[in-house]
Chain A
């Protein structure tokens, strides 16, 4: 039978194709060498297409200086980043250099996934207190890329159009903030809403610090129910006085990205974000934006604002090329040429030398942020340590109970108790 041979070869071919595709899928593990004998270094990060292009450019620079190393960027959008990363780690296929945020740091560091970079990367030009946020139990697992501060963003033009005046942000209170927001809403005839609500834990952290409470105390929450309730009361007052949209619209806006925020669509005068979002908000709205100090609680001695690394570079504990991984991180952090490409994409550069070198090249919004951070520097609280593992879920937990209160489905007393219980359970492990 003549087709017999054909059949056999077809079947063999099919199996071979499957084997090849399977081999491609599994990649070449943690420590590979490419065909031409170069060391292959895998670097994972998240972000936009623009960041990917920029990062590829930096990688090329690094490879030009280190011809024996071939860096392969593994890039995904933020929503699926941790999902992909945890799966790779679980499969024993962790990238050599891993980008991580402060929320995820201890999830990974506490579980033995990350290598101690102490003495392997030059950190002389990084502010010591900022650097400490990447250390857990005395081990420097993570090197901060750059810093941000959670701040109040304002559109001064819209504010003045509604007949209100810019506040003196060195001494304004939460009550004044609520009043101002509702004045903007009424003054503009409903065209502009004063502010939009935020359930970012950083916001509550600042508010709590003004009352002398830390957000985390070891593996427990340091917040009292009174503080949480007082914080919710601000937002309830904002809704009541129409300084912010009602609970349903707030929940709707809260589920969208910064581009669709009230501020970005020129339908609101205030909003709270990490300072590196100033550029995005300015660009989306096409109008002039400024950063302001957060309002203070009555009698507060500290403004509670703080610097936090935008992200960290870490190295896998299982990497077969630990030295090369450290070298790459060092390049990303300290090399002015790398800095000149990255600019403020990963926060305002943590290295003071790099920052000085690229300062003139920064886009306008970042210069504004930098000036703002310089201005408030002396008032800032120490950067808080990385939150305990389990804190990745904190924003979800806080948002959920906050919404229950805003919709009146739970009393603030009840919700504060339940929030503390659930949050503690989440971070206890």
Chain B
């Protein structure tokens, strides 16, 4: 909802210089009024669909709420239970953290590598770009759950290939030690979005830098390290922040591959999946709301750290 919000300004003040005088003030006021009227539907939506529920969930996080009965105020109980009496909460946090820490760098590295290849000016670039973007569109669909079982199942594609070289692989999706890695692979596979952004970033780097470096005798690796990476750091930073937030909120991958259980043996129990199970399977919506707020705090904290750390490694051309 919020992503599609567009800043709207009264047209006259933005495009034409003010002429002064009584008439035009009146007119601009009238146009401002019209603008607010146009904004009204969006604003009502924001209030009713976004801000209202946010505050409702904050209130609910301090209650015992089964969805079917009235909510009952319990203070900090939900938050305390989470960190003291709920091993599944902590294990879901652990699973999610491993998932984020492993999959985000892998995905970004992969996306950057492909963007570099595509940036070399291949023929038919738009076609390749579309093909590579395809997994991002499919990543959350139910068909992928079936595909993933066919590929990583006990008798799946991967094991068939391994069998040729005499290795009998385990059932990857069904084994608690490996199931999470298949989800990480699934995440890495949906590298399209960051790749497109990297590609745009690479196009921004002036060719003359490379030419000058080549004249000075810099090889491709040296060029990559001293020109591409530094000039691309704002883009890397942007992708990093975005992907960390997105993968902390991952739900679909685990939901469809484990058919909603987070199994086997909780090895793919993502934070949001556990939140969902608590809310809709255990009828404990108050607890689920509290979990949502803890997630918000975690993500906000990580993003803040990310921004603070960015001072030391992100290079904006105009600041230094």
Contact = CB atoms under 8 A, between A and B. Distances in A.
B40 A86 contact: no
Secondary structure class of chain B's binding surface, majority of residues: loop
Contacts of B153: 249, 252
Contacts of A251: 171, 174-176, 263-265
Interface residues of B, number: 39
Given A8-B34, A407-B264, A90 B68 contact: yes
Given A18-B41, A90-B67, A252-B153, A246 B259 contact: no
A25 to B, nearest CB: 11
B7 to A, nearest CB: 17
Contacts of B69: 111-112
A255 B27 contact: no
A32 interface: no
Given A252-B171, A252-B174, A256-B149, A400 B66 contact: no
B37 A11 contact: yes
A86 B260 contact: no
Nearest to B64: A429
Given A11-B37, A14-B41, A407-B265, A396 B281 contact: yes
B154 A245 contact: yes
A79 B34 contact: no
Contacts of A113: 68
Nearest to B261: A396
Given A251-B175, A255-B263, A404-B265, A86 B67 contact: yes
A390 interface: yes
Given A4-B34, A90-B68, A252-B154, A79 B260 contact: yes
A87 B67 contact: yes
A248 B170 contact: yes
B266 interface: yes
A55 B164 CA distance: 51
Contacts of A86: 67-68, 280, 283
A108 interface: yes
Which of A4, A255, A390, A409 has most chain B Cβ within 10 Å? Answer: A255
Nearest to A11: B37
Contact of A246 (B41, B171, B173, B258): B171
B263 A249 contact: no
B68 A255 contact: no
A60 to B, nearest CB: 32
A174 interface: no
A255 B174 CA distance: 9
Contacts of B259: 255-256
Nearest to A87: B67
Name the residue among B154, B174, B259 with the largest chain A CB count within 10 angstroms.
B174
Interface string A242-261: 00011111111111100000
Interface string A396-409: 10011001100101
A89 interface: yes
A86 B260 CA distance: 18
Interface in A20-58: none
Interface in B140-173: 149, 153-155, 170-173
A1 interface: yes
A144 to B, nearest CB: 22
A87 B68 CA distance: 8
A400 B174 contact: no
Given A86-B283, A251-B263, A407 B258 contact: no
Contacts of B27: 1
Contact of B149 (A112, A246, A252, A409): A252
A249 B285 CA distance: 34
Interface string B23-37: 000010010001001
A248 B264 contact: yes
A4 B260 contact: no
A247 B260 CA distance: 19
A287 interface: no
Interface string A1-24: 100100110111011001000000
B314 interface: no
Contact of A248 (B175, B277, B283): B175
B162 to A, nearest CB: 14
Of B27, B67, B263, most buried by chain A (CB within 10 Å of CB) is B67
Contacts of B58: none
A82 interface: yes
A255 B261 contact: yes
Contacts of B242: none
Contacts of A390: 282-283
Interface in A362-409: 389-390, 392-393, 396, 399-400, 403-404, 407, 409
A399 B282 contact: no
Contacts of A399: 261, 263
Contacts of A186: none
A248 B281 contact: no
A35 B263 CA distance: 49
Contact of A11 (B34, B171, B265, B266): B34
Contacts of A245: 154
Given A107-B68, A396-B261, A407 B175 contact: yes
Nearest to B276: A83
A400 B265 contact: yes
Contacts of A83: 280
A248 B154 contact: yes
25 contacts: A1-B27, A11-B37, A14-B41, A15-B40, A79-B260, A83-B280, A86-B280, A90-B68, A111-B69, A246-B154, A247-B174, A248-B170, A248-B171, A248-B172, A249-B153, A251-B174, A254-B263, A256-B149, A393-B277, A396-B261, A400-B265, A403-B263, A403-B264, A407-B264, A409-B265
Given A11-B37, A248-B174, A392-B282, 9 more contacts: A18-B44, A87-B67, A248-B154, A251-B175, A251-B176, A252-B149, A255-B258, A255-B261, A409-B265
The 7 closest A-B pairs by CB, nearest first: A252-B174, A248-B171, A251-B174, A251-B264, A249-B154, A248-B174, A248-B175
